[in-house]
Copies of this chain bind each other. A is one copy, B any other.
């Protein structure tokens, strides 16, 4: 299998997208930035374990698949730090009493995340100089100044999603979202392939 969505998106559906002209790659630019999301303990749990166990610690935790992705993020993070390229952490703000009634209507359990849940995972935590952006919504762009920081840093690279470095609690949903993004919004590639592309930038 070549793509993470093979076997999930039927072959004939993939052929329609291909015939209609979707999914061309846009390529990297000259000034990349690394956007790191979902690296708080609330998203993976404090220790690797199957998701069925992980949700007992934090309802939002994805367990093993999250920890596997964190390992890949660490690899890319090392590359970006070596080059001195910008590293940006949009992160989930601790829920406050005034946040009740929003996302908590649909997922009431998110209000109860405590302790280390909002801390960054140690292996990939931010360091001095990294850009930290609290967010109240799932999107890293909505209601945050992320766009301003990208412009300020002169970032010119289109969206690339290294597929082993992202994760979701449903493997089917994960694969299908990668397919959707590859069709219309992002270059989806392996971490290894991305490292090769990044190495070409002076």
A16: shortest Cβ distance to chain B, in Å? Answer: 6
Give the oligomeric copy count: 4
Which residues of the partner chain B approach A96 to less than 8 Å between Cβ atoms? 132
Residue-wise, chain A 189-200 has the 8 Å CB interface mask toward B (1 for contact) of 000000000000
Which residues of the partner chain B approach A108 to less than 8 Å between Cβ atoms? 21, 24
* Contact in complex: A13, B172 (CB < 8 Å): yes
Bound complex: CA of A26 vs CA of B179, how far in Å? 29
Which residues of the partner chain B approach A55 to less than 8 Å between Cβ atoms? 16, 19-20
Bound complex: CA of A149 vs CA of B143, how far in Å? 10
Tell me the count of chain A residues lying within 8 A, CB to CB, of chain B.
66
Which chain A residues have a beta carbon within 8 Å of chain B's beta carbons? 8-10, 13, 16-17, 19-26, 51-52, 55, 59-60, 96-98, 101-103, 105-110, 128-132, 134, 136-138, 142-152, 154, 156, 158, 169-173, 176-177, 179-180, 183-185
- Chosen A-B contacts, 13 in total, with CB atoms closer than 8 Å, are A9-B172, A9-B173, A16-B169, A20-B107, A21-B107, A106-B184, A107-B184, A136-B145, A136-B148, A143-B146, A144-B144, A144-B145, A176-B177
